Amino acid sequence: MKYRILATSVLVLVVAFLQSTICEYIEFLSIRPNLFIVMLVIVALLRNPVESAVMGVLLGLSFDILMGKSLGWYGLLFFLISIPISSVNEKIYREKFLVLFAFTFLSTLIIELMFYLIIFLFKDYGNLPYVFSRIVLPESIYNSILVLPLFGPISKAYTLIDSFDRRRNRLSA
């Protein structure tokens, strides 16, 4: 358990660091990838619902603190997206590229549309079709492409953490 908490903390800090520094250099058509959503999908596909929900809240609050103008909206949206993904993760082939692409595309689409709808309702943000076609859709495609090379290393890291955890629990029992 100690290793999981440490790995979760390190993972959130690494994602926050990469999102705030490296992602501005890999912009494409003035669209930055959202590594928080990519990491949320990967963790939700690899872990159980409770662990992925906690990770979703942590990633969402970190994103709110780092990039957002309001605290809690992304935390709530990440939490709500992580639960259905992690509920079906054992029934699908997680390693297939189409599954990774589809889950990341839909998650990014839902999270960003819900966030812009929240902004539209509370702050009267106009021109939602423009936001959808110029920001949300390209970001969804960009995140979906970015998840493909990141899934393998993170999956191996979680497998390593699980083996440490099993070895430690076996020795202490």
Beta partners for 28? 31
The band of 115, judged by pLDDT with boundaries at 50, 70 and 90, is confident
Q: pLDDT value at position 1?
A: 66
| Lookup result for tokens 């997206």 | 81
Number of domains in the chain: 1
**Can you give the pTM of this predicted structure?**
0.89
> Over the stretch 11-41, which tens digit does the pLDDT of each residue have?
899 999 999 998 888 888 888 899 999 999 9
Residues 6 or more apart from 131 whose CB is under 8 A from it? 116, 125
- Expressed as residue numbers, the domain containing 165 is 2-172
> Over the stretch 39-60, which tens digit does the pLDDT of each residue have?
999 999 999 999 999 999 999 9
Output the domain CATH number for residue 20: 1.10.1760
Residues 6 or more apart from 6 whose CB is under 8 A from it? none
